[in-house]
């Protein structure tokens, strides 16, 4: 038996693609947790696990946002957005920004107005203010491409990232 045949025999049977299949597959994919913010008549924000570094020169990121989310109308009009990489002790902050109907910017959320009027969260591992470069239609989402124009990184070299896997927030073991 070849290696190829051996691997195929241990794989689950194929089934038609569906939203449930995609969600099930990505429960097995660990992802960093970020909060995306934007300024409008009221500040808006949401928890994202789709944040990706796209380019170093120019510095660009991408993430997906559902067009049915409460944050979408503000994001759709925003020229600049905030990207915040969460610390491993910020599970409650991540949960607040993921919760539908929550007043995400009320205490205990700590934030300030940053460059270009973007809400910047306090105490995160890193933050970027980005100029929205493109909104690309992608099914029931938009893929946002954004170029970093300002930002900051925490001075705490021991702070770990918050990770999302199998429907729950996790921390990574300390680096040795």
- What does the pLDDT look like over 11-27, one tens digit per residue? 778 888 888 887 777 77
pTM above 0.85, yes or no: yes
Pairing of strands 44-48, 34-38: antiparallel
Statement: residue 1 has pLDDT above 60: no
Query: Would you state the torsion angle of the CA atoms of residues 38, 156, 109, 82, taken in this order, to the nearest 10 degrees?
Result: 0
Give DSSP secondary structure letters for 108-150: T--EEE-GGG-EEETT-SEEEEEEEEEEEEETTEEEEEEEEEE
Check pLDDT > 80 for residue 30. Answer: no
- Intra-chain end-to-end CA distance of the chain, in Å: 41
Q: For 31-157, CATH number?
A: 2.30.110.10
Q: Which residue has the higher pLDDT, 171 or 86?
A: 86
Interacting residues of 67 by C-beta distance below 8 A, sequence separation 6+? 140, 141, 142
pLDDT > 70 fraction of the chain, expressed in percent and rounded: 91
Q: Can you tell me whether residue 34 is helix, strand or coil? A: strand
Q: Among residues 53, 66, 65, which one has the least CA distance to residue 148? A: 53
Determine the pLDDT at residue 9: 56
Taking the C-alpha atoms of residue 141 and residue 163, their distance in angstroms, rounded to an integer, is 22
Averaged pLDDT for residues 67-71 = 92
Residue reference for tokens 């300002």: 150
pLDDT recorded at residue 95? 95
């Amino acid at each position: 038996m070849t290696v190829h045949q051996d691997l195929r025999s241990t794989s689950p049977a194929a089934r038609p693609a569906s939203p449930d299949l995609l969600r099930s597959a990505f429960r097995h994919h660990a992802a960093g947790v970020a909060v995306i913010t934007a300024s409008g008549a009221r500040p808006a924000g949401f928890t994202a696990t789709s944040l990706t570094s796209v380019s170093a020169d120019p510095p660009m990121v991408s993430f997906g946002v559902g067009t049915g989310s409460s944050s979408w109308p503000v994001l759709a009009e925003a020229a600049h957005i905030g990207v915040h990489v969460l610390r491993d002790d910020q599970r409650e902050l991540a949960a607040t920004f993921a919760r539908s109907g929550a007043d995400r910017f009320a205490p205990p959320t700590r934030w300030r107005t940053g460059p270009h009027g973007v809400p910047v969260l306090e105490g995160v591992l890193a933050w970027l203010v980005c100029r929205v470069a493109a909104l690309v239609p992608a099914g029931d989402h938009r893929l946002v491409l954004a170029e970093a124009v300002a930002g900051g990184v925490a001075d705490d070299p021991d702070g770990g990232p918050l990770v999302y896997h199998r429907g729950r927030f996790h921390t990574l073991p300390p680096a040795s």
